[in-house]
Amino acid sequence: MNIDSMERITVVGAGIMGHGIALVCALNGYLVCLVDVDEGKIKDALDRIRFDLQTLLSLGMLNEKNMDEALTRISGKTRISDATEEAEFVTEAVPEKMELKKQVFKELDELCPEHTILASNTSTLRISEIAEATNRPDRVVGTHWMNPPYICPLVEVIRGDETSEDTLNAAINLLRKMGKEPIVCKDVPGFLVNRMQFAMTAEALNLLDQGAASIEDLDKVWTKHLGIRFCLMGPFEALDNLGLDTVLYCQSYLYEELKDPKFRPSAGLIQKVKGRELGLKSGRGFRNYEGTNIDDIIRERDRRLVWLLRELRLI
């Protein structure tokens, strides 16, 4: 599909995510039809869109002309059949229930033109199973937006078992054209964001159950340190900074003490340490630092950390 010639996008589901996705599309020049069986929800969604646009205006992220033009591009319908004839890309954002999503995709498949790409904003459900409700599984893809969609840059693009390269690339290019940062994921349970997010929250809940610390102090672990550090570097870059031999020692100790499988050192980590690929200090770890000045990397890391802490008024 030629993304440059695309004009019309349909969003099915006028809830928290649906209205936000519709807003992003409208701000980027697309004609958007927002569909929901509940007319009241469509009215609420349009009111919320106006509220969100005012917020973006107050933050200097758009001007009044942008705001007025975006509003003229959004319409609402209560029947899918009224929003599919010319739709080139459809995003489903209905509640997280497999049977409901499959019902919506079956109807979309029957009504949309053959070339239309069908995307799901599911945060956990398998794209391949959703695609089974259609006769075009090659044109079904996952696009998991983060909340709020009109601010957060990341969107997970999930490749189902039968999603074609053309469909995957079309979704990626469309998102990039709208200023988003797409990351590609296999159709694994929970995808990437929620797998990593809920691993963290699950351990926080375990520590609370054990009486290890107060809720306030457990939150501070993230707001005063981990969240800040991981804002500046991903998990593998952070591991390289710590030193993979140190990481292996710590994980091995936790595994022996707690007998919890999630702390069992991964085969990849063990292999790195055996090969003396220890991270930043050895010039190679999960990332390759050969040919770069390690002192410059550390200096830049510290500069960004100080800048962020100052912006957050934490120092």
Residues in the chain: 315
Whether 288 shows a pLDDT value over 90: the answer reads yes
Q: How far is CA 50 from the centre of its chain?
A: 24
Q: pLDDT, tens digit, for every residue of 30-55? A: 999 999 999 999 999 999 999 999 99
CATH superfamily, region 3-186: NAD(P)-binding Rossmann-like Domain (3.40.50.720)
CATH superfamily, region 193-311: N-(1-d-carboxylethyl)-l-norvaline Dehydrogenase; domain 2 (1.10.1040.10)
Please give the model's pTM, rounded to 2 decimal places.
0.91
Q: pLDDT, tens digit, for every residue of 151-160? A: 999 999 999 9
Q: Which residues are catalytically annotated? A: 123, 144, 156, 194
Q: What is the mean pLDDT of residues 84-103?
A: 95
Bridge-partner residues for 33, per DSSP?
10, 75
> What string of H, E and C letters represents the secondary structure of the chain?
CCHHHCCEEEEECCCHHHHHHHHHHHHCCCEEEEECCCHHHHHHHHHHHHHHHHHHHHCCCCCHHHHHHHHHCEEEECCHHHCCCCCCEEEECCCCCHHHHHHHHHHHHHHCCCCCEEEECCCCCCHHHHHCCCCCHHHEEEEEECCCCCCCCEEEEEECCCCCHHHHHHHHHHHHHCCCEEEEEECCCCCCHHHHHHHHHHHHHHHHHCCCCCHHHHHHHHHHHHHHHHHHCCHHHHHHHHCHHHHHHHHHHHHHHHCCHHHCCCHHHHHHHHCCCCEHHHCECCCECCCCCHHHHHHHHHHHHHHHHHHCCCC
pLDDT of residue 11: 98
Please determine whether the domains at 3-186 and 193-311 fall in the same fold group of CATH. no
pLDDT of residue 2: 77
Q: What is the mean pLDDT of residues 255-267?
A: 95
pLDDT of residue 4: 82
Residue ranges covered by each domain of the chain: 3-186, 193-311
pLDDT of residue 266: 96
Q: pLDDT, tens digit, for every residue of 153-209? A: 999 999 999 999 999 999 999 999 999 999 999 999 999 999 999 999 999 999 999
Whether 88 shows a pLDDT value over 90: the answer reads yes
Q: Residue 215, class by beta-carbon neighbours within 10 Å (0-12 exposed, 13-18 middle, 19+ buried)?
A: exposed
